[in-house]
Each structure stands twice: as C-alpha cells, then as structure tokens.
Chain A
Amino acid sequence: MTDMLLHVVLVLAMPPLLLGVIGKTKAAFAGRVGAPFLQPYYDLGRLMRKGVVFSDTTTWLFRAGPVITLAATLLAAFLVPLGRHAAPISFEGDMILFAYLFALGRFFTTVAALDTGSSFEGMGAAREVTFSCLAEPTLFFALITLTRLSGTMSLTTMLRHVTLSVWFATGASLLLLLAGLFVVLLAENCRIPFDDPNTHLELTMIHEVMVLDHSGPYFGCILYGAALKLYLLGAVFVNVAIPFALGNSYLDWLLFACSMLALAVAIGVVESVMARLRLIRVPQLLVAALILTAFSLVLVVR
C-alpha cells in the first residue's frame, strides 16, 4: 500500500524536477547560475493562474488535445514500475497499451496543432508524427528483447527481471538496448539532438512549435504532460540501467529517485555537448537506433 502511494506521489510530483535538473546542468556547462531547480513548478503554478487566449480558427479539439494527451500519459504512469517496485497496474501485454497510450497522446497533440491552421504548427505536427513512427519500432524491439530475457509479457516483470546477474550474462545485448532506448527517450521527448526545446526560431522546432497557440492552464497541461512522458520513458531506461536492489523498500525508492536525477543530469550533459542534428539527419539516427535494438535481440537469441 505504501509502495503504491509512493508510486503515485513520485509520478505526480517529481517529473517537473527533472526539467529543473536538466536546465541547471545546462546552465552549469554554460557557466551560468541558471534558474532554480524548482523553476518548472513555479512555471506550472503561474500558468494555472493565467488567463487563456484562444485562436478564432480553433474548435473544441484544440482544448481536448492537451487534456486527452495528459489523461493518456497519466494512465501510462500507472503501468511503469519505478525502481524495483511493481507498477500499480500490470497485466499480460500492458507494454503494448503503454506504447499505444503515447500514440493516442500524439494523435491528439498533433490534431490540436493542425486545429490552429498555422503553417508552423502543421510543420511541427508533420515532424512529430514522422519521427515518432520511426521511434516506435525501436521501443518494440527493446520490449521483445526484454520479453525474451525475462520470459514474461508485462512491463513490471520484464523490467524487474533485469538484475546484476542478467547483466553479467547478457551485458552486450543490454548495452545495445540501452543505447536504443536512450535515443528513443531523447527523440520522443524532443531533446537535443532531435529538437531544441529552447530554440528561438519556429521553423526549426518540433514539439514547441506545435503548442505555440496554447496558453494558460491548457499550456500547463502540455508542459506537465511532456515532463511526465520524459519521466516515464526515463523510468523504463533507469530500470534497465540500474539493476541493483538494496533490499530495503525505502532505500530502493531513494535509489530510484537518485538515478532519475542522474539521468536528468546525463540528458543535460548530452544537450550541452551536442549540437542539434539537421532535420534530414534525424531519421538516420532513429533508424540506427532501431538497428541497434534489433542487434540486441539477435545477441539474445544467438
């Protein structure tokens, strides 16, 4: 019961902190002080108190987009195990639902973007769906590898199966899988080198340009949903990458939270040392990640 409560609290409260950590890391690399760690929370709070401006072109779908996306992501949050703890909901095949909930969110985010009639938002939507459809098979290859390793078909069991001994036995395969997952994590959450969340030119954006017209609490929903998505895909990554269990339930929670923060630092480092890829290079990197995860499957089968 405590575990379930902690799961809910962590999943609801922690995601914006990751954004804060990423921002602070990037600031440190640039030699700045940077915004406080809690800045994303302040932003969300401010957005929740702000008024809304709707474009005359939009319909109810423009409002439904952020709402349904957030709802789908929230449901996905209950399917992912955090650290060594079981997810509140798990059943055979839940990883497929997990992947498809993100697809549902993507459908409505992009539809809401097209609702504004802005060519920039249409551009962002076209890029988003194209990149995601290339990232999706990578995720599925990774899930198949995990299914084969663990012999089970549920996120909780397949992720908890990855322990130190499994790492010793199939380290090479897991490394390739992690590389693929990391690329998916960056691509799906629109981080550098795929997309620059802080860019100032609409022409080059992907995710940010799709939400240009949203404002107030609706924009808050989008920001929070995006942070949550980063958190969830990050949790999948961390579950594979950190195969330790400390034995004590609370220590395990602490370990998980720390590793999530470490992941945020890692993303911040990647964002600081890398430049954004040219748009036409992005599909190549995604396909490379796909092949990496395919290799991880081959190595497991052998």
Chain B
Amino acid sequence: MLFDMIRDPGALVLAAIIVAALSGLPALLLREGPLGQQISAAGAFVSSLLALPSLCYLLLQGGAAASSYTLNWNLPFGPCEIALDPLSLFFLIPIFVVFPAGSLYALGYWPAATRRTSAYSVTFFYGLLSAAMALVVVARNGALFMVAWEMMALSGYFLLVAEHGEEEVRSAGIVYLVASHLGAAALLALFSGLRIATGGFGFPAPGALQLTQGGATLLFCAALIGFGSKAGIMPLHIWLPSAHANAPSHVSALLSGVMLKLGIYGILRVLTFFPEHPLWWGGLLTALGLTSALMGICIASAQKDIKRLLAYSSIENLGIITAGIGVFLIGQGTGNARLAYLGLAGALFHILNHALFKPLMFFGAGSVMHATGTRELDRMGGLATRMPWTSLLALAGSVAICGLPPFNGFASEMLLYLGFFGEALAPEPYLALGAPVLALVGGIAVICFVKLYGITFLGAPRSEGAAHGHEAPFSMLAPMALLAALCLTGGLFPQLFLALVNPALQGILPVGFVPAALPIPPLWFAAAGGSIMVLSLSIFLVLRGKGRTLPSGSGPTWGCGYLRPAASMQYTASSFGAFFGSLATPLIRFRIKADAISGVAPAAARLGYLPEETVLHRLVLPAVNLAGIACAFVMRIQHGLMQVYILYIFVTLLLLMLWVH
C-alpha cells in the first residue's frame, strides 16, 4: 500500500500537507534548546520535497491526471471531497516554496534561544497555517473549505500576535480578526447560496452552475467581498497594512506571499462554477484592480515603516493580479482569445512572481530589523557596508518588485501590457487605458523601492542601531538567495514559469483560447536580460582596467561647500517621499503631532508625524465606529463568561432543531 502511495503523486501531495501540519509539533514538545525548532524546519523541508516535485510533475502532465479523493465523514455536510486539479496544483506551489524558506529563515530570525516565550507557538502555527492554506486550495466541499479557511485565519492570528506584549500588535490582531470574520461571513453566505442552488455543499463541476442572473450576481458579490477582503483589494484592505507590519517578518512573508493569493484563488474557483460571466464582472474586477494598484502604491510611497511600505506594495501587486483576472473575463466575454489568455497568464504568472519577491523583501526587512532593532526607515542607513549579502539580495528583490528587467516582475507585467496594447486596436479601446495606469504604477513603484533600498542600505547610518548593524546568519541568507535566484530565473527564462502556468490556464480558459506560442518569443527576455548583464559587466571591466592606470583617491562626500556635514542632514525616507506625497494629498496626509513651545527658555519638545490614509481615516474608520455604536447592545451579551456562551450554543441548536422539524 505504501508503495502504491509513493507511485501516486497526488497522494504524495496530501502526505506533504499532513507533514506540514505536523511539522510544528517537535518545536511545541521540545521547548528547551534549538533542537525542536530545527526538527520542525527539517519537517518543513521534507513536506516541500514531497510536494514540489509531485506538483511540477502533475502540472507538466497537463493536469490530465487530476486526482480526487473522498473522505466519508459522519457529518451532515455530505462527503468531503479533496481534489487536485491544475488550478489547485498551481496555487500549492507558492505555499510549498515559501513555507520551507520561512521555516529556515526563522531559525536565525526567531530562534528559540532568544524568543523563549513565543518561538514554539510561532513554529507550530507556521506549519498549521501552511497546511490550512493547502487544504483550502484542495477542498471541494463548502464545509471543509470553511473549516480550512477558519484554521488559516486563526493560525494567522496567533502568528500575528507573537509579540502580544505590545499594544500595537494586539490592536492589529483584533482588526485582522474582525476583518477576517467579516470576510468569512460573506463566504458563509456564498456557500449557503451554493447549497440552495445545487442542493449540496460539494463544489459544482466547472460551468455546471445554472442560475438566474440575480442569483449569479449575488453569489459573485458575496465571493468578491469574502475573497476580496482576504486579497486586500481596496477598500477591503483595512486589516492588511497593520497586520503585515506587526507580524514577525517570516510570518509576513507567508501572509503576504501566499495567504493573500488564496483570495485570488477563491475568486477564480468561484468563477469556474459559472458557465458564463457577464461582461460587467470583468469590468468591475479590472477597475477595482487598477484602482487598488494605483492607490496602494501611492500610499506605499509615503510610508516610513519598512514593513508597512511592503504591505501597501502587496495591495498594489494584488491589484495588478485582480486587474489581470478582470481583463481575462472581458476577453472571454467578448470572445477575444488573445486578451483572455494574456490577462489570465499575466495574473497567474504575477502570482508566482509576487510569491517570490515579496517574501524576499520581507526577509530582507526582517534581517534589517534584526540588525538594527527598528522598523523606521528614517533611522536606518549605511547598512550595505555592514550587511553586504543582505543588501545585494534585497537589491535583487527591489528591482524585481518594480517590474524592471532582467527580473521576473517585468516578464509578467509585459504580458499584461501586451494585453492592454492589443486592445488599442479594438473598435472600442477602453481597456488600452490600462497601459498608462500600469506605467504610472510602475513609476511610483520605482519611487517606493528606490526610497526603501536607498534609505535603508545606502548613505551614512542615521542611528546607533544602524551604525552597529551586523550581517544576517547563513540560515537567513540562504532562503533569500534561493528566492532571488528564482526571481532572476523567472525574468530570464519566463517559459519555465509559464510551463507551470499554462496547465492551470487550460482548466479555466475555454478550449482553443490558449495559444500555441506566446505573442512575444520568450527568447527575447533571455536576450534582453543577458545583454544588460553582459554590457554592464564589460563596461565595468573596462572602467576597472582604466582605474588601475589612473590615480584614484577618496574623501568625504561633496557637501556643496558646507564643512561639517552630519549623517542627520541626509535625506530621509520621509523627505524622499514628501515630494510625491505632496502630489497625492487626496490619498495620503501626514498627521503631525508637536508639543507646544512656550516660555522664554522652552523645555525639550518632540515632533512626530505619521502618514495617514485619507480613505481609511476619513471614510472607513468613521463608518466602522458608527457601526460599533449602533451595535453597542450586542456588547451586553458579550461578557466573557464561558459557561453562558455554551448555553448560547445549546439554545441556538435547540431553536434550530425546532425550526427544522
């Protein structure tokens, strides 16, 4: 039997999920010393080694060997089906790439030796979160899906509040929990609707859901709210920045690199149920996606907290992905095979890419925080000399995340650009307007990441912590190096990544929509990227050869005649972003807190400022507060007495049974 199991790659994937779920146990049991955490990390690697080859094999098989397993549980939700179709396989890949990388990273970043009170729980929930995410992707039953979804949300919560001693972390955790459950409520509505429509909790077969227009619209909206809030699509993103900023960095990497994508998975999965998609769904998704991308990156440019900046950049990237899906729906609706293919391929490719460079950037941010003890960009600087390897790898991540050649971000954005440009030839070229928007987003992304990289790693140290930073250990550098290498590979040889994307496309796109070849031969990516590198290297060698014969000297930076320049005079992250911020005032404002200065000899005063999102603080939060006041009466039955809560459950059950009979 074991032999049969090994021969079935699908079973190997399921085994990997179980190994991932259990991988945290050693750390939970062996709390003394580093051994438990190390065994757990090894477990993460084993699960990934089991899963990744099988996933790639199954995908490259074209997904024809899609396997499904049924578990007959004795619960009233019907048989619990688990299936591995190409779409699921594709979304499993980021999980099993980021999970072992993060586990390895945690050995140096969150070691049991210095984080005695939280390391074991973080390690345990890290494995559980990964397994829950994998279960979400393979579940084919609404009830099982919700169970996995809740497991994911709750383990995410426990990871996020690892440093629960801090007020900021606790409030971020509560916002996350509330937003996550509001989303889950929308999903409950979705699955109940599906139950009414199909008579069971099992997912309908692709294209098998026949509904009236109104019913389809309702289900789509429920899915959009439920999954969109997980994906952080504006304005459902309120939980995202503070959650990602306050979680430990390897957790942020998993949340941002993988968990957000499950929102996209959910939207795609629900879309496959419907035999046809009204055109306005595509329009709505495209508009939401592009707005989200633009607003997300504008707000990112004003941030002075390194992880908050990365979190807003996740909103941008998820926006681009959502826009890609919208473009696909429009292409499908209008029978435009090229557009549909480019939109969906661009979106899925970007999912893979974002799952590589965003964890890379969060790891980089984690190493920087580890070395300097702060998240404030304004207190960093000059780390490139003290952390040469981290700074090199973070540079690769920054270039990739801006979508610049020769890295992978460029390749996936190129597909979307080609889709938008192709629309310029259509009779009604509205979609072509996406190209300038994407270009603007790309331009602002350059502002954000020049700022993040330049202020963190370059210049002179702006604080004591930055001046005494130290290089990260091997266990933190290795996962970053792996991710950076994958980013470069994806940029030079996009066909390798597209080979994994294409089978997933075939499950979603109508027959005949997947073209035999890309509109742009993938060789050009290798040629362009290769020539940039070869040209740079040769110019560099020529200049270095010249430098040997010419006199060279060194001195202080030219201070324009000022004789005593100081590190505190440097441009800071806030000043770097202020100019663009002054153009984006409708989206972002600075709240300035200053102590009053009075008297002839005033005492020391402090000045603080915080970038604030206008939409959030002027629109969303007041609305939430109003809702809070309106629901004040609920607080009376929420008193924290466990026994009474159990009574509530009992009474509810009783009433429900009476109602049913």
Contact = CB atoms under 8 A, between A and B. Distances in A.
A52 B519 contact: no
Contacts of A136: 439-440, 442-443
A130 B382 contact: no
A11 to B, nearest CB: 14
B436 A137 contact: yes
Nearest to B459: A117
Contacts of B404: 100, 103-104, 107
Contacts of A122: 454, 459, 570-571, 575-576
A110 B395 CA distance: 13
B311 interface: no
A277 B279 CA distance: 46
B422 A59 contact: no
Interface in A230-265: none
Interface residues of B, number: 80
B338 to A, nearest CB: 11
**A71, A132, A212, most chain B CB atoms within 10 A:** A71
Nearest to B444: A133
A70 B536 CA distance: 8
Contacts of B418: 92-93, 96, 153
Nearest to B524: A91
Interface in B514-573: 519-521, 524, 528, 531-532, 535-536, 539-540, 543, 546-547, 550-560, 565, 567, 569-571
Contacts of B552: 51-54, 216
B425 interface: yes
Contacts of B399: 104, 107
Interface stretch (B131-139, B445-453, B628-636): B445-453
Nearest to A99: B439
Interface stretch (A26-34, A37-45, A144-152, A268-276): A144-152
A125 to B, nearest CB: 7
A48 B547 CA distance: 10
Nearest to A290: B436
A213 B422 contact: no
Contact of B546 (A121, A126, A217): A217
B575 A126 contact: yes
Interface string B383-399: 01100000100010011
Interface in A121-163: 121-123, 125-127, 129-130, 132-134, 136-141, 143-145, 147-148, 151, 153
A194 interface: no
Nearest to A95: B421
A195 to B, nearest CB: 14
Contact of B425 (A58, A139, A148): A148
Interface string A92-121: 111011011101101100110111111111
A291 to B, nearest CB: 11
Given A67-B540, A92-B418, 14 more contacts: A55-B555, A56-B554, A56-B555, A58-B557, A59-B384, A59-B385, A64-B540, A104-B532, A117-B459, A118-B559, A127-B579, A137-B437, A148-B429, A213-B557
28 contacts: A50-B550, A51-B550, A54-B554, A55-B558, A56-B555, A61-B395, A61-B458, A72-B532, A100-B403, A104-B399, A104-B404, A104-B532, A113-B454, A114-B459, A114-B571, A115-B454, A115-B458, A122-B571, A125-B576, A126-B576, A129-B580, A130-B447, A137-B436, A137-B437, A137-B443, A140-B439, A147-B424, A297-B432
Interface of A: 48-59, 61, 63-64, 67-68, 70-72, 74-75, 91-94, 96-97, 99-101, 103-104, 106-107, 110-111, 113-123, 125-127, 129-130, 132-134, 136-141, 143-145, 147-148, 151, 153, 202, 212-213, 216-218, 221, 280, 283, 290, 294, 297, 301
Interface of B: 381-382, 384-385, 391, 395, 398-399, 402-405, 410, 414, 417-418, 421-422, 424-425, 428-429, 432, 435-440, 442-444, 446-447, 449-450, 453-455, 458-460, 519-521, 524, 528, 531-532, 535-536, 539-540, 543, 546-547, 550-560, 565, 567, 569-571, 575-580, 582-583
Which 5 pairs from chain A and chain B are nearest by CB? A122-B571, A133-B443, A114-B454, A117-B459, A51-B551
